[in-house]
Structure formats: C-alpha cells, structure tokens
A and B are shown apart, each in its own frame.
Chain A
Amino acid sequence: AQSVAQPEDQVNVAEGNPLTVKCTYSVSGNPYLFWYVQYPNRGLQFLLKYITGDNLVKGSYGFEAEFNKSQTSFHLKKPSALVSDSALYFCAVRDIKTDKLIFGTGTRLQVFP
C-alpha cells in the first residue's frame, strides 16, 4: 500500500534561516509525490509535485523538494524562511489505482522573527 510519513509534528526555524520539512514514502512502482500547504481555516494549496525527471523540483513561494530514490524521501526545503511561511505542510503520494491522494500526518512549520 502507498503511504507517506512525516516524522516531525512541528519544525521551528528562525526567519532567514533555511528550512527542511521531512517526508518519506513507501510505494509500489514509480511514485507521484506532492507537497501541499494549509493556512489556518483554509483548504490546501498546491506547492509542488514530483512525477519524473529532475530530482530537484521547484515549486511555489520559493519552495523546492528533493526526490531521493535510495532514501525514499521527498523533503521540502526553502533557502530562507519567512514568517509568512508558518503553516501546516502535508506530503502526499498518489495511489495510481484509485487516484486518491494519501496524506501524511502533517508538519506544523513555525518561523520566528
């Protein structure tokens, strides 16, 4: 079965510092991986996806993610965090058979001024 794991419930980082939000996956076959962000009382916004091609994927708001097949990871990164990046981040994998997105448990990112 397809699954993703987000090992950190919360990540704290100072503004201007680089940030990493971790995600590991377990799939059969080639993975379709996604990152979404959720602000309070809002729906999810798409950040980026990996389907195939370059392992480094660039997305919205300066975020990027690195697909690492050997480590089965898809960590979300940003070189310089902003206070406005504070939100809940979800990693997800597509179940090819059903088109469902399987979400991780989410990681709350807190960026301090």
Chain B
Amino acid sequence: GAVVSQHPSRVICKSGTSVKIECRSLDFQATTMFWYRQFPKQSLMLMATSNEGSKATYEQGVEKDKFLINHASLTLSTLTVTSAHPEDSSFYICSAKKVGLDTGELFFGEGSRLTVL
C-alpha cells in the first residue's frame, strides 16, 4: 500500500497561537506533497506544493508567511499555521506523490481539523 499519515487529526487552539500539522508517507518516499484546505461542503482548495529540499510553491492568494511549509525529508512535510485566527479554522488535507509512480495518482492523508477559538 501507500499510506499517508496526518497528525494531529483534530486540534483546537487559541487565537494568536501557531499550530503545526505533520504529513508523513509511511511506506514510500515522496519528493512532492500537496496541501489542501477544505471548507464545509466544498471542494478541496490547493494551497501549496511542497518539494523536498526546496521552497514550497504557493497558490495565488495563499499567504506564505501565514502558512509555513517545510519538506525536510522524503517522508515528511509540515504545515504551520502561524498566529492562527478563527477564519483559519478549516479541514486541512495533505497528499503525496510517490517517487517513481508517474500515473499522477496521489495518496491522501486523513485530514486535520483545525478549530481556532
């Protein structure tokens, strides 16, 4: 299989604090991971593309200083929501592209629900 683990699955924090979400590929290497945000009853919005060993590429309208992405190894990418505010409350999902698999299929984590009070 190709398993992607996200942690934490749920997090509640106070306004102004920072929250880190981890995305790990457990049984494969991933040079590229993608971070999405999903609002209730809506589709996935791509936030950024995370590349191992280089800077992330952010989609238009996504604040790179607000959503810090680090892809330090072939199995781990992290998303840090800095100085979180209630409007950052959302469901965040990561996906990973398996090295050597060129079909375009991505493997998704289970998502992390962030609630900012």
Inside 8 A of A96's CB, which chain B residues have their CB?
104
Chain A residue contacts of B46, Cβ below 8 A = 100
Q: Is the CB of A44 within 8 A of B104?
A: no
User: For A44, what are the chain B residues with a Cβ–Cβ distance below 8 Å?
Assistant: 44, 93, 95, 108
Q: Is the CB of A90 within 8 A of B108?
A: no
Q: In the complex, what residue of chain B is closest to A42 when comparing beta carbons?
A: B110
Q: A32-B104, A94-B104, A105-B43 are in contact. Are A42 and B32 (CB under 8 A)?
A: no
Q: Tell me if A34 and B104 are in contact (CB < 8 A).
A: yes
Interfacial chain B residues near A71, Cβ < 8 Å:
none
How many A-B pairs have beta carbons closer than 8 Å: the answer is: 54
CB under 8 Å from chain B, chain A span 5-36: 32, 34, 36
Determine whether A54 belongs to the interface, using a CB cutoff of 8 Å to chain B.
no
Residues of B within 8 A of A101 (CB): 34, 95, 104, 106
Query: Within 8 Å of chain B (Cβ to Cβ): is A45?
Result: yes
Seed contacts A42-B110, A43-B4; 20 additional CB < 8 Å A-B pairs: A34-B105, A41-B111, A41-B113, A43-B109, A44-B108, A45-B108, A46-B105, A46-B108, A51-B103, A90-B43, A90-B44, A94-B104, A98-B49, A99-B32, A101-B95, A101-B106, A104-B43, A105-B42, A106-B42, A108-B41
Give the distance in Å from the alpha carbon of A32 to the alpha carbon of B105 in the complex: 9
CA distance A98 to B95 in the complex (A): 14
Instruction: Tell me the dominant secondary structure on chain B's binding face.
Output: strand
* Count of chain A residues with a beta carbon within 8 Å of a chain B beta carbon: 23
* Interface assignment of B78: CB less than 8 Å from any CB of chain A: no
User: Which chain B residues (98-117) contact chain A, with CB distance < 8 Å?
Assistant: 103-111, 113
Closest to B111 in A: A43
Which A residues are within 8 Å of any B CB, using their own CB? 32, 34, 36, 41-46, 49, 51, 90, 94, 96, 98-101, 103-106, 108
Top 4 nearest A-B pairs (CB, nearest first) are A94-B104, A43-B108, A44-B108, A43-B110
